[in-house]
Structure formats: structure tokens, C-alpha cells
Amino acid sequence: MSGFDFSKRDSFGSRLGVVAAAAGSAVGLGNIWRFPYVLGENGGGAFLIIYLVIMFAIGIPVMMSELVIGRRSQRNPVGAFRVLAPGKPWYLVGMMGIISAFMILAFYTAVAGWTLEYIYQTLTGGFSGKSSVELTAMFDSFRSESLRPALWFSVFMIATSAIVLGGVRKGIEKSTKIMMPLLFILLLVMCIKSLTLPGAGKGMEFLFKPDFSKITGTTVLMALGQVFFSLSIGMGTIITYGSYIQKDNNLAGTSVQVSLIDTAVAVLAGIAIFPAVFAFGISPSSGEALTFIVLPGIFQQMPGGMIFAFMFFLLLALAALTSTISVLEVIVAYFSEQLRLTRRKAIILATLSMFVLGITASLSLGLTSRIKLFGLNTFDLFNTTTANILLPLGGLLIVIFLGWFFPGRDVKDELSNGGSLKARYYSLYRFIIRFVAPIAITIVFLNGIGLLKI
């Protein structure tokens, strides 16, 4: 019988490779595009504080839990629950993750396609001399009046599939190790430029001075969703990557490192963007367009700006690529291990289905704008439902599973690598996954959707 040979599963080669790949999944458009605009729409500094609290109190423990599930089971998200809880319906949590993966890949690759359009524009001088009003108009007409978003989506999707076809170690690990540090450096350069613009102080105030009167239930839910989205947790991406991690890796250490890198990049993106937002007189609540209007504006103010712009959008595209490959890997691991397809067939099937969803999402302000559900176009629907509903719900079920339905000693065994690490934080971790995280996620969720009023 032809089937998946589990003894031949691929794996990451080194400790650094693991962090680079997981951070590669975490760091992406979520940090540089989504974080600033969601923060801008949700009150600035107060959002940042709530975001940081949730990141450390809930995000890191959820990430550790996913790594435990993945490495313990050596499977994709559906297979993982089937191995760890045979005969029980927990595998449905994995199925929910696969659905999230499809939805995220569709809209996320569409945004990744925008970065390609922006690389093209820097090369052809499309931004030159444009004011922020003109840059806004340019962004809007690109999204609503042409088929180009679908074209760029397709290019990006094919690049993603090609890397995943290369396999875990060769394809994913190698590419991330080089690209991530480069992006970090370039982001620092942009922060410096943004901070020296006239009027930059107001942006720093907006980002760092909390005004708690602006906080509502929705704000906290948005922060929770953003943490989950940014860390790639709640849908099995980290379960899948965890399944490729070797037995001597310190899972808690990896989670902390990845989360710190991810947070640092998000905060740096905030520092690069908000001073410029105020210097250019743009509204911080400009939504999805924010990063794509502000960044070209900053580049125009820099000597040699178009070279920087080219490098930046290229690296942003690459950061997005290290994230899209992690999402596609979830689907491919599921198809090949559960449905017993060859890796190649799994990739082709996943890619073809992604074309349908992704092209619909990428043209959601143009050709496909009439397709709506709950009043949202496909892009907004995928973006909002995954981050604010599916990922937190997935995270909730993951911690409940490990905290209440899986033997504690096995969890400790996995976190301490069979007793060779001390894992002194274990009691705190266990308390969080049993009580703090489930209660907090439930309250934030119910409050955010208006079913509970506090």
C-alpha cells in the first residue's frame, strides 16, 4: 500500500534553524502591515500595552503548548490530535486549523502580492513626487480598478509553493536564516528616518502614551486576535513546525525567543510608521492602506529613497514568504499525512484550491466586490474571522486540551526533554494553561462580540 512513511518525516537541522523558521513564520505582514493599522484604529498606546500583556501572559504559553503537541505527536495538526487523543473529537481542533490556514493564506498572499506591486512601482518610478493624498489614491485604484492584485497574488502563490516543494530543511530553513536579520536592519534605518521628520514626537506619543479611555471590549479582542495572528498560533502552524523539531530543543526557550523577536519587529514597525503618519498629516485610523501610504512617503524624504524603498519592499515580500510557506506547510502536511497524498500532489492540490480563494480575496474591492457574507467582502471576512474568532478559539481549545485532557506528566516530560532540563517555570505554565488563558480568552471573546458586558 502506498502511504506516508512516518519514519521518513523531514526535520529542522539546527537550533538556530528552528528559531529562524518559527520566527520567519511569526514575523511578516502581521507585524509591519497589520499591527500598525490595527493599533492605529484602536487607540494607539493603550492598545500597545494590552497587546504586550496578552503576548506574554497568553501568547507565549499557547506557543509552548503547540510545540509540545507537535513534537510529542510528530504529526500535522489533525494527525497530532488523533495520535494524542485517539477516538476523541479533538482532531476537530486540527480541522479548524486547516480551515483557518486556507482563509489566512488567501488574504495574506493577496497582501503579499501588494508588496510585489510596490517593488514594481519603485522600479518604474511610480511613487516619485507623489503626496500622501496621491499615494492613497494610487493604492485605492490599484486595489479596485485592476486585475493586478490577482496577478501578483498568483506570482506570490507560485513562489510559496516552489519553496514548500523544496522541503523543510532545504527550502524553509535556509531561506529564513538570511532574510530575517536583513529586514531587521532595514527597519532600524527607517525608524531613524521617521523619528527625524518634523512633528515626529506626536507619533511617538500616539504609540507610547496610553489613553485608557479609548479602550472598549472590541479593542481588547482586536489585541488578542493580533497577538494570535502575529505569533502564528491558534491554528496548528506551530504544531506543524513543532513536529519537525528535534528532541533536544528547549521548547520554552524557543517560544520566548520567537515571541521577543516578533514583538520587537512589531514595535519597530510602529516606530517607523507613526512618527511619519503625524508628520505627513495622515489619519492613524486609515486602515489597511496605512503602511502602504506611509512607507512610500518616508522613502521620498530620504536621499536615495527609491533604493531603500526597493530593498524594503523586497524584504517585506520575503518576510511574507517565510510566513506563507509556514501556512501552506500546514495544509500540505495534512494532505500528505492524513489523506496519504504524495508531497508533490498535496502541494499541487493545495495550490490550485488556493488560486480560487486567493484570487477572490485579492479582487475583493474590484471584480469580486459583490461577493459578501455578513456584510463583509471576502478579504475582510477572512482577515477578521481568522484573527478575531478562529485563532483565539483554536488557542482556547489547545490549552484546554493540554491543561485538562492530557496527562500533565507527559507535558512536563516534553518541556523538560525527558527530565534533562529543569523547566522551573512549569507550575506557572500549567496554572496559565489551565486557568488564566482559558478564562481570559473566553472573557475577551464574549466581551468583544458583545455577549458579555464588563
Instruction: Work out how close the CB of 243 gets to ligand PFF at its nearest, in angstroms, rounded to a whole number.
Output: 14
What count of residues does the chain have?
454
Q: How far apart are CA 254 and CA 259, in angstroms?
A: 8
- C-alpha–C-alpha distance, residues 38 and 33, integer Å: 9
Closest approach, Cβ 386 to ligand PFF, in A, equals 8
Closest-approach residue to ligand PFF (CB): 30
Q: Which is nearer to ligand PFF, 260 or 443 (CB)?
A: 260
Residues 272, 278: Cα–Cα separation, whole Å = 11
Q: Which is nearer to ligand PFF, 365 or 391 (CB)?
A: 391
- Nearest distance from C-beta of residue 5 to ligand PFF, angstroms: 26
Give the separation between CA 109 and CA 370, rounded to whole angstroms: 21
Farthest-apart Cα atoms in the chain, separation: 69
- With a CB cutoff of 8 Å and minimum separation 6, the contacts of 75 are 82, 83, 243, 333, 337
- Residue number with CB closer to ligand PFF (300 or 326): 326
Instruction: Give me the least distance between CB of 213 and ligand PFF, in Å please.
Output: 29
**Minimal distance, residue 330 CB to ligand PFF, in Å:** 7
Q: Closer CB to ligand PFF, residue 261 or residue 289?
A: 261
Nearer to ligand PFF, 183 or 252 (CB): 183
CA distance 396 to 93: 10
Residues that bind ligand PFF (CB under 6 A): 25-26, 28-31, 104, 229-230, 232, 235, 237, 323, 326-327
Q: Which is nearer to ligand PFF, 108 or 127 (CB)?
A: 108
Could you tell me the smallest distance in angstroms from the CB atom of residue 370 to ligand PFF? 28
Minimum distance of ligand PFF from residue 201's CB (angstroms)? 28
Q: How far is the CB of 229 from ligand PFF (least distance, A)?
A: 5
Residue number with CB closer to ligand PFF (132 or 263) = 263
Measured distance CA(398)–CA(221) in Å, rounded: 18
Q: How far is the CB of 383 from ligand PFF (least distance, A)?
A: 11
Q: Which residues of 150-181 are buried (b: 16+ CB within 10 A; e: fewer)?
A: bebbbebbebbbebbeeebbebbbbbbbebbe
* CA–CA gap between residue 352 and residue 363 (Å, rounded): 17
Q: Which residues contact 352 (CB under 8 A, 6 or more apart)?
A: none
Q: By C-beta, is 90 or 108 nearer to ligand PFF?
A: 108
> Please, which residue, 228 or 429, has the CB nearer to ligand PFF?
228
| CB 106 within 8 Å of CB 112 | no
Would the CA dihedral through 357, 362, 363, 369 be positive or negative?
A: positive
36 vs 305, which CB is nearer to ligand PFF? Answer: 36
Q: Which is nearer to ligand PFF, 31 or 378 (CB)?
A: 31
* Shortest reach from residue 31's CB to ligand PFF, in Å: 5
Take residue 313 and report the three cell numbers written for it: 519592499
